[in-house]
A and B are shown apart, each in its own frame.
Chain A
Amino acid sequence: MIEVRLIEMAFDAAGAMRDFAAAHPQSGGVVSFLGQVRVDSAQQGADVEALELQHYAPLTLPGMQALAQDVLGRWALDGLLIWHRVGEMAPGDPIVLVVAASRHRRDAFAAADFAMDHLKSESWFWKREKRGGQWAWVEPREQDYADLARWGQTQA
């Protein structure tokens, strides 16, 4: 089962994880990653008031669906869930949830790791942070490109 969604409201990651695991009784391993809005960032203090993720509908969801198919082609999975927030979020809000289910754990770990590295570096999202009432766009991190290189790939 593949479930890829763009979500405009805060979501219940624990509930999604529970439902996904229940839907895959044949899977001995279910690995999840939850990304949440950080209250601080590298160069600046812990004063993030809000985070906004912008997407471009003709590219963003189709790109995530193509990524999911790519992941399924690489590992023996019973299921894969990728949920990603768009819009305005507060610190502590969930941004992204990836859950992979497989018969044995190793495939699920690798699939979730691969999916996250590609979501971070290749998906069509633009991010800005609000501090002291001012919005500022977040530039790409070199670390995200380095993470992609772990899989023998570079940014297109």
Chain B
Amino acid sequence: MARLVFLGRLADLAGGAEREVAPGPLAAILSGLEHDLVQALTGARIRVALNGALVARDGLVLKPGDELAFLPPVSGG
């Protein structure tokens, strides 16, 4: 399995901070999630980190054990 991590308000929308998903292309993974959550996750200001490194989401494919975090804009320390 792979893991999705939701930070900030995205965790409220997802109903939890993490979700286990089947590995595969990100597009396929997203198509299995709730519509309003997908809309939030694909917003222009949401960045993604794969296993702790910021990446571009285009063409992303998750392997077993991968962790993909969705990061909304930071609200300042």
Contact = CB atoms under 8 A, between A and B. Distances in A.
B76 interface: yes
Interface size class of B (residues with CB under 8 A): 10 to 19
Interface stretch (B4-12, B23-31, B35-43, B56-64): B4-12
A122 interface: yes
Main secondary structure of the interface of B (DSSP, over half): loop
A124 interface: yes
Nearest to B69: A56
Interface of A: 35, 53-54, 56, 58-59, 62, 84, 95-96, 119-128, 137-141, 144
Given A126-B75, A127-B75, A127-B76, 16 more contacts: A56-B49, A56-B71, A58-B52, A59-B54, A120-B76, A121-B76, A122-B74, A123-B77, A125-B77, A126-B72, A137-B8, A138-B75, A139-B73, A140-B73, A141-B75, A141-B76
